């Protein structure tokens, strides 16, 4: 299958979940494949400084919190937890090491050549990687994203006071007071880690509610749950500056719409106001490719850019910035290059926030469904009435099913539950199969499981649930 005019059939730039998956798939399809990565290890943001290390800290801190906040005591387990932060960090580093090493093994197994170094285009088929020049018939840009900077706020991860998500994963001690700038996914996940370990956490959010992009009811409910856990919020508030003095920071905030400013003292400040695509340094000018006003590379539904032979996937293209979206795009893009049909249904990408409880959703929010012209019928079911959640002392949360009033087709499902991230898979699958709320309501769900709440919420769309 190889075209001998080029060194490779496919060169992937970036070895995150988009890039490494595309490279493995391309190689599995018989294409001679290389992957350029400038980091020391494979796996991109996700494995090195994103999904995996954050989940390692969330998992460990969740146990600590359960032991410290009385949850274990309710179960008849008496313990007095003592924090060994070095060991907690150690197990995080181990998870990263094992998983990034696993990708290296998969590259070798599938005969994907890892080109170490930063890649930049010379022309559409010629890429300089470090000192080496590599030619390829197809180049996939999978360069991912990095933290959006906040003007007036200087991140210094080494200093461990004003940090981004990477620095917040590594804090050497539990801060007394952490100010989180941005009440989105990173702010709530990493804010949860340090709150559970003993920090006071104040979230400063520009909008009037946390978690933009999630369903309105779910955002409100999540807000209440986190408040009950001890989070403090300053909503509709913007940060105008952060000054560091010794080991303390002074955060200046003012109402989002203008007004008197005030200051907050903290010993850690997490900047988590979003991420932006990595395209600097790729020398896109050399191939006549321009990014859009958000810095993203535009692609068609086959993941082709405007330049023949150049493709793009993952966080550097429009859409949700999620690892599983990047992975699915990687597979579909490689399939398209090999001449198969690779499709990603961008309308059904689940989102999960791995807090306690977890928050998950797929499809349209109620607001977006109405805006799209649907008349909707909504069914809700509280986790408090779910036998398993109740037995496990996990009463917080609910499931919300949004269906089209006329056709009953499910438009979106949103939930807050201890295992919402696992529950949302069935919602995504049902929606892929074009399910109606009645289909979910009539599907037998095992008892006692948290997922029964989804069945009951689906029942609530057209009839009545049994357990409330
Ligand atoms: P990336 O993973 O960013 O990988 C791109 C790679 O390209 C990087 O390794 C970079 O070094 C390399 N690169 C860039 N430019 C060049 C170049 N010129 N030459 C060579 N190499 C280059 N998503 C989830 O779905 N679930 C989660 O739980 C989750 N948790 C997260 C937690 C945190 C703290 C963060 C920051 C992100 C999290 N995400 C999560 C988002 C997820 O990490 C990204 O959506 C995902 O990594 C995007 O994959 P990607 O392959 O597009 O890019
Ligand atoms: P985000 O977009 O989720 O949240 C950023 C928040 O900051 C928003 O609520 C926004 O209104 C607010 N904001 C923006 N400017 C502000 C300002 N000046 N002052 C105060 N608030 C401001 O971005 P976040 O949390 O940084 O995460 C980046 C990306 O990483 C997300 O898009 C997400 O997809 C991905 N991610 C996914 C995770 C998951 O799937 N569990 C976990 C962590 C990250």
Instruction: Report pLDDT digits (tens) over 253-286.
Output: 999 999 999 999 999 999 999 999 999 999 999 9
Structural domain boundaries enclosing 79: 8-147+276-337
pLDDT of residue 3: 63
Give residues with Cβ within 8 angstroms of 190, minimum separation 6. Answer: 54, 57, 165, 168, 169, 180, 270, 272
Whether residue 186 contacts residue 55, with contact meaning beta carbons closer than 8 Å, is answered with no
Domain identity same for 253 and 305: no
Q: Is 324 a catalytic residue?
A: no
pLDDT of residue 231: 98
Q: Which domain CATH number covers 414?
A: 3.30.390.30
Most informative mutation of 55, 145, 147, 182 for ligand 2 (most atoms within 8 A of CB): 182
Whether residue 309 contacts residue 124, with contact meaning beta carbons closer than 8 Å, is answered with yes
The sign of the CA dihedral 324, 325, 328, 329 is negative
DSSP result, 406-425: TT-BEEEEEEEETTHHHHHH
Environment class of residue 375 by beta-carbon count within 10 Å: exposed (0-12), middle (13-18) or buried (19+)? exposed
Domain identity same for 300 and 413: no
145 lines ligand 1 (CB under 6 A): yes
> Which ligand is nearest to the Cα of residue 14, counting in written order?
1
pLDDT of residue 77: 96
Catalytic residue among 89, 324, 374, 447: 447
39 lines ligand 1 (CB under 6 A): yes
Q: Rounded distance, CA 256 to CA 354, Å? A: 28
Domain identity same for 243 and 384: no
Give residues with Cβ within 8 angstroms of 218, minimum separation 6. Answer: 211, 359, 361, 400, 414, 415, 416
CB within 6 Å of ligand 2 — which residues? 150, 181-187, 189, 204-207, 212, 238-239, 272-275, 320-322, 352-354
Q: Output the CA 235–ligand 2 centroid distance in Å.
A: 14
How many separate domains does the chain show?
A: 3
How many angstroms separate the Cα of 455 from the Cα of each of 183, 221, 389, 438? 30, 20, 14, 9
Domain identity same for 290 and 233: no
Domain identity same for 188 and 309: no
- Confirm whether 342 is domain-assigned: no
pLDDT of residue 84: 98
Q: Output the CA 280–ligand 2 centroid distance in Å.
A: 21
Domain identity same for 172 and 134: no
Give the chain's residues under pLDDT 70: 1-3
pLDDT of residue 4: 74
Domain identity same for 132 and 213: no
186 lines ligand 1 (CB under 6 A): yes
Domain identity same for 379 and 301: no
pLDDT of residue 336: 98
Domain identity same for 142 and 172: no
Q: CA-based Rg of the chain, rounded to a whole angstrom?
A: 23
- Confirm whether 293 is domain-assigned: yes
- Confirm whether 345 is domain-assigned: no
Entry pTM: 0.97
Contacts 24+ apart (CB under 8 A), 387-391: 387/447, 387/448, 387/452, 387/467, 388/448, 388/449, 388/450, 388/452, 389/417, 389/418, 389/450, 389/453, 391/448
- Confirm whether 247 is domain-assigned: yes
Angle between helices 85-110 and 51-68 (to 10 degrees): 150
Q: How many helices (H) and strands (E) does the chain have?
A: 14, 22
Whether residue 16 contacts residue 326, with contact meaning beta carbons closer than 8 Å, is answered with yes
Q: Output the CA 299–ligand 2 centroid distance in Å.
A: 23
Domain identity same for 166 and 185: yes
Q: Tell which atom from ligand 2 comes closest to the C-alpha of 150.
A: 18
- Confirm whether 467 is domain-assigned: no
Q: Output the CA 271–ligand 2 centroid distance in Å.
A: 9
Residue 172, SS3 per DSSP: coil
> Which ligand is nearest to the Cα of residue 148, counting in written order?
2
């Amino acid at each position: 299958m190889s075209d001998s005019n080029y060194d490779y059939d496919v060169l992937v730039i970036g070895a995150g979940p988009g890039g490494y998956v595309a490279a493995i798939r391309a190689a599995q399809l018989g294409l001679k494949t290389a992957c350029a990565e400038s980091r020391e290890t494979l796996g991109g943001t996700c494995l090195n400084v994103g999904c995996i290390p954050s989940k390692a800290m969330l998992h460990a801190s969740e146990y600590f919190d359960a032991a410290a906040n009385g949850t274990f005591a309710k179960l008849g387990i008496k313990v007095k937890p003592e924090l060994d932060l070095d060991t907690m960090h150690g197990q995080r580093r181990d998870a990263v090491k094992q998983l990034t090493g696993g990708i290296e093994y998969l590259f070798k197994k599938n005969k994907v050549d890892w080109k170490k170094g930063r890649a930049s285009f010379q022309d559409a088929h010629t890429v300089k990687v470090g000192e080496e020049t590599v030619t390829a018939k197809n180049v996939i840009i999978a360069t991912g994203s990095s933290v959006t900077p906040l003007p007036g706020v200087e991140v210094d991860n080494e200093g461990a006071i004003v940090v981004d998500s990477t620095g917040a994963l590594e804090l050497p001690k539990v801060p007394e007071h952490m100010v989180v700038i941005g009440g989105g996914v990173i702010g709530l996940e990493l804010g949860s880690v340090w709150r559970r370990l003993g920090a006071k956490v104040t979230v400063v959010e520009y909008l009037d509610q946390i978690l933009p992009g999630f369903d309105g009811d779910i955002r409100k409910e999540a807000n209440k749950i986190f408040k009950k856990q001890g989070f403090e919020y300053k909503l509709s508030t913007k940060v105008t500056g952060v000054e560091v003095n010794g080991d303390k920071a002074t955060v200046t905030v003012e109402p989002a719409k203008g007004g008197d400013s005030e200051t907050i003292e903290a010993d850690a400040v997490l900047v988590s106001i979003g991420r932006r695509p990595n395209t600097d340094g790729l020398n896109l000018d050399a191939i006549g490719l321009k990014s859009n006003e958000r810095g993203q590379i535009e692609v068609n539904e086959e993941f082709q850019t405007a330049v023949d032979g150049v493709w793009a996937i993952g966080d550097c293209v429009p859409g949700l910035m999620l690892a599983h979206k990047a992975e699915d795009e990687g597979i579909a893009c490689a399939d398209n290059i090999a001449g198969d049909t690779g499709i990603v249904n961008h309308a059904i990408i689940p989102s999960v926030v791995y807090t306690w409880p977890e928050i998950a959703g797929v499809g349209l929010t109620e607001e977006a469904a109405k805006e799209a012209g649907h008349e909707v019928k909504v069914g809700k079911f509280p986790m408090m009435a779910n036998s398993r959640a109740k037995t496990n002392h996990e009463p917080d949360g609910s499931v919300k099913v949004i269906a089209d009033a006329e056709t009953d087709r499910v438009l979106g499902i949103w939930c807050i539950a201890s295992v919402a991230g696992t529950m949302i898979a069935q919602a995504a699958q049902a929606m892929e199969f074009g399910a109606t709320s009645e289909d979910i309501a009539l599907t037998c769900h095992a008892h006692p499981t948290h997922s029964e709440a989804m069945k009951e919420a689906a029942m609530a769309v057209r009839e009545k649930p049994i357990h409330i």
